[in-house]
Amino acid sequence: MTERFLARLESPIGRIELLADHEALTSLTIERDGSLPHDDEPEHRNAVLETAAIQLDEYFAGTRTDFDVPVHLQGTEFQRAVWGRLQQLRWGDATSYGALAAAVGKPGSARAIGGAVGANPVPIIVGCHRVLASDGRITGYSGGEGVPTKLWLLGHERIGFAA
């Protein structure tokens, strides 16, 4: 079994829990209802987690607009294709579920795209908050406290959306 490392940090959207292996970040969870999945475990940091924590602090401070911490994205081939497209979005960029479906060669599969976006294991770093409905509306968010968390992230990056 691969050794797992764990770190937590404070952020404007709540506490964040980071998991990593020796080489890359494997999970980022935003606190929901005051708890994180591994609250009962002690932190066990490594260099990957230290880099991720620094980059996230810089992001929240507004001094970092992209991430270069390595990530391991484990999922289906379809999910990894969607997450790969999400990684190409930059600070302030947004896309729609339909455009994302077309970009991965699955036009008309916006619902499946939504499932893959929601299963993103490293939100913020892989910017799933940047996906909106085709008319610019916010349709949901699975991280943190849901839509309020997405609203904060969109506002932080100055991404416009329809009310």
Residue numbers annotated as active site: 128
Residues 6+ apart with CB under 8 A from 41: 6
Written as six digits, the tokens of 56 are 């996230």
DSSP of 104-160: TT-TT-HHHHHHHHHT-SSTTTS-GGGEE-TTSB-----STTSHHHHHHHHHHTT--
Residue type, 100: L
Element containing residue 83 per DSSP (H, E):
helix 77-88
CA-wise closest residue to 97 among 80, 112, 87, 83: 112
In this structure, the strands spanning 95-96 and 131-132 are parallel
Q: How long is the chain?
A: 163
